[in-house]
Amino acid sequence: MKRWDRTHETLKQSALKLFVEFGYEATATAQIAERAGVSEMTLFRHFPTKEALLLADPFDPLMADAVRTRPEHESAMQALVEGIRQAWKQIDSESTRALRDLLRIVAQTPTLDGAIERNSQETVVALAGALTDRGVHATQARVAATAAIAGLGAALLDWAQSEQTPLGAVLASAFDVLSGE
């Protein structure tokens, strides 16, 4: 792992631990940088905002590649749903636990209301790009990607606040709705 990647991961892990321990609002970026052993300037080179520490999505390339390689006969929404479903199957249990912790913080912090929507633009761009690579018109691709990510965001926030519901069941239900079933 490259130095940049190690620092990036250390910052994310340090932030998560501090957010869980003290709460999002009570944790300063200087504390996160100190816990990670870097300067606050380095933190902001990796993450432009404190919010981004929670919501930077490492799964975008994985999802976009999965959408891009779906069979040509699939509609834009079907390629999105099935590609994202395929990508999520590759997420390990440790990443799933970390995702639940992050999303739980978002769901329980009033100042983060709407944070997922604000930070989903890169995901929408990646998925819309994958669809346009498949020959979907740019506007249709953007509409489909926006709908899919908004729906998944809502489902994931509900899941994060639940102790009982497994992620697979939540995603399967969301994918069924998004695919018109």
Q: What angle in degrees, to the nearest 10, is found between the helix axes of 121-133 and 76-88?
A: 120
d(C-alpha 90, C-alpha 62), whole Å = 9
**Structural domains for the chain:** 1-54 (1.10.10.60), 57-181 (1.10.357.10)
Over residues 147-166, the pLDDT tens digits come to 999 999 899 888 988 877 88
Over residues 25-68, the pLDDT tens digits come to 999 999 999 999 999 999 999 999 999 888 877 788 889 999 99
The pLDDT of residue 54? 86
CB–CB of 23/51 below 8 Å? no
